């Protein structure tokens, strides 16, 4: 499973990219708005930092408008992926971009039938939002499992990008049910790496090393 960072913040991207674990980045209009800078500049800088796929979302709601924005965004860098909403207009734009060889991420997916439509439209990625389903007492990970099963059985090449992941457990569960990609905020990367036994074990090893070195000098 590939790991993407869900943010538009360059400092977060640079930090997590430095760990050597990052395959790409996803952004959305909400995340971009937090940066208070021109969207094209944000995407350009992220693409300079990260070699993998970087999703940039259109905000037009009609197909022609989406395609105009997509053309501008795709011109920023070779690794830009055009993020489109799971609407009839978004599916139509997805099909046209796919036919032109432009990578796409169909977002705001909340059901298996929607995911099938994204695959039929030739999407590179479809993004089911696990956390937002959990928020309304549905089972987000069950949806990711269902979509992954359908895509495997049917041979769809669209990758399942598990989004709206809120915890390390979500990431492990998404991996276990066959998601191709998980996108998560920097906070969850930090939660994933931490374990109290790792900290305690390292402290003990370093203390024992000091004792060992002192014994050699004695």
Choice among 2, 34, 36, 83 that is catalytic = 83
CA 216 and chain centroid, separation: 50
Query: Which own/partner pairs from 189-192 qualify as long-range (CB within 8 Å, at least 24 positions apart)?
Result: 189/3, 189/5, 189/16, 189/19, 189/21, 191/167, 192/168
Taking the least distance from each CB to ligand G3P, the nearer of 96 and 126 is 126
- Binders of ligand G3P: how many residues, by CB under 6 A? 9
Told to check if 123 binds ligand G3P by CB under 6 A, we report no
Told to check if 183 binds ligand G3P by CB under 6 A, we report yes
Q: List Cβ neighbours of 7 (8 Å cut-off, separation of 6 or more).
A: 13, 25, 27, 31, 185, 186
Helices (H) and strands (E) in the chain, counts: 11, 8
The site map against ligand G3P for 12-51 (x = CB under 6 A) is --------------x-x-----------------------
> What are residue 146's phi and psi, to 5 degrees?
-60, -45
Shortest spacing between CB 102 and ligand G3P, in angstroms: 19
Shortest spacing between CB 215 and ligand G3P, in angstroms: 52
Taking the least distance from each CB to ligand G3P, the nearer of 63 and 164 is 164
Report strand pairing: 125-128 vs 159-162: parallel
Look up 194 and say whether it is catalytic: no
Shortest spacing between CB 185 and ligand G3P, in angstroms: 7
Alpha-carbon gap, residue 24 to 8, rounded angstroms: 12
Alpha-carbon gap, residue 50 to 146, rounded angstroms: 31
Taking the least distance from each CB to ligand G3P, the nearer of 65 and 131 is 131
- By beta carbon distance, the residue nearest ligand G3P is 164
Taking the least distance from each CB to ligand G3P, the nearer of 89 and 170 is 170
Alpha-carbon gap, residue 113 to 191, rounded angstroms: 33
Told to check if 6 binds ligand G3P by CB under 6 A, we report yes
The site map against ligand G3P for 124-163 (x = CB under 6 A) is -----x-xx------------------------------x
**Region of residue 10 (phi > 0: left; psi between -120 and 50: alpha; otherwise: beta):** alpha
Active site residue ranges: 83
Site residues, ligand G3P (CB under 6 A): 6, 26, 28, 129, 131-132, 163-164, 183
């Amino acid at each position: 499973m590939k790991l993407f960072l869900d943010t538009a913040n360059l400092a977060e991207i640079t930090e997590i990219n430095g760990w050597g674990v990052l395959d790409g980045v996803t952004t959305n209009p909400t995340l971009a708005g937090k940066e208070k800078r021109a969207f094209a500049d944000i995407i350009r800088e992220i693409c300079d930092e990260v070699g993998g796929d970087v999703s940039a979302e259109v905000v037009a709601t009609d197909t022609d408008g989406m395609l105009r924005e997509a053309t501008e965004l795709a011109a920023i860098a070779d690794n830009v992926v055009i993020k489109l909403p799971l609407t009839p207009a978004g599916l139509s734009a997805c099909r046209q971009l796919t036919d032109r060889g432009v990578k796409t991420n169909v977002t705001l997916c909340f059901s298996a039938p929607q995911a099938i439509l994204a695959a039929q439209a030739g999407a590179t990625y479809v993004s089911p939002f696990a956390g937002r389903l959990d928020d309304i007492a549905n089972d987000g990970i069950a949806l990711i499992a269902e979509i992954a099963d359908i895509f495997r059985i049917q041979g769809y090449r669209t990758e399942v990008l598990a989004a709206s992941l809120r915890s390390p457990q979500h990431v492990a569960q998404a991996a276990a049910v066959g998601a191709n990609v998980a996108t998560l905020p920097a906070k969850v990367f930090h939660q994933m790496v931490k374990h109290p036994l790792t900290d305690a074990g390292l402290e003990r090893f370093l203390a024992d090393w000091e004792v060992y070195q002192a014994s050699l000098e004695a």
